[in-house]
Amino acid sequence: MHTGSCLCGQINYTIASDSGPIIYCHCKRCRKSSGSAFVTSMQIERADFKVTSGQDFIKIFHHDGGVDRAFCSNCGSQLFSTRAATPDLMRIRLGTFDSEVDSKVSSHIFVDSKAEWHDILDNAPQHAQRP
Ligand SMILES: [Zn+2]
Ligand SMILES: [Zn+2]
């Protein structure tokens, strides 16, 4: 079980599982949306995710290609993304977790579009695009 929240604290959520793969996504959209080198997410089953407060603050940005990105309309924290192609999965932004996470990165994806100013220095598997 995990708990998490956005920066302003209006949105709180729980995840009814202990772990899932931790993915670093280096695609350009993730870099833009985070303002950083990559987005770090834990992939979980949608059925395990529950918003416990602040549902009304959640705003969804719809990408072309069926990707939805959810963020707090008050503080701007990214919370999760979903893909129409995999409706049963969610990718929760790991930086919003309040509970401790004891696993490490599982893989890097979209390494082909990684920022040229960032070097990957761990030994996790790297995928040129989505594996
Ligand atoms: Zn917020
Ligand atoms: Zn991405």
Q: Give the integer Cα–Cα distance in Å for 48 and 1.
A: 9
Q: Looking at the CA of 112, which ligand is closest?
A: 2
**Residue ranges per structural domain of the chain:** 2-21+39-99
Q: Looking at the CA of 33, which ligand is closest?
A: 2
Return the CATH number of 2-21+39-99, one of 1.20.1250.20, 1.10.3720.10, 2.170.150.70, 2.40.50.100.
2.170.150.70
Sheet holding 2-5, edge to edge: 2-5, 12-15, 49-53
Name the β-bridge partners of 53: 12
Q: How far is CA 54 from the centre of its chain?
A: 18
Q: Looking at the CA of 69, which ligand is closest?
A: 2
At residue 78, the pLDDT reads: 98
* Confidence tier at 10 by pLDDT (50, 70, 90): very high
Q: Give 95: exposed, middle or buried? Use CB within 10 Å, 0-12, 13-18, 19+.
A: middle
Q: Is the pLDDT of residue 108 over 90?
A: yes
Radius of gyration of the chain (CA): 14
pTM value is 0.95
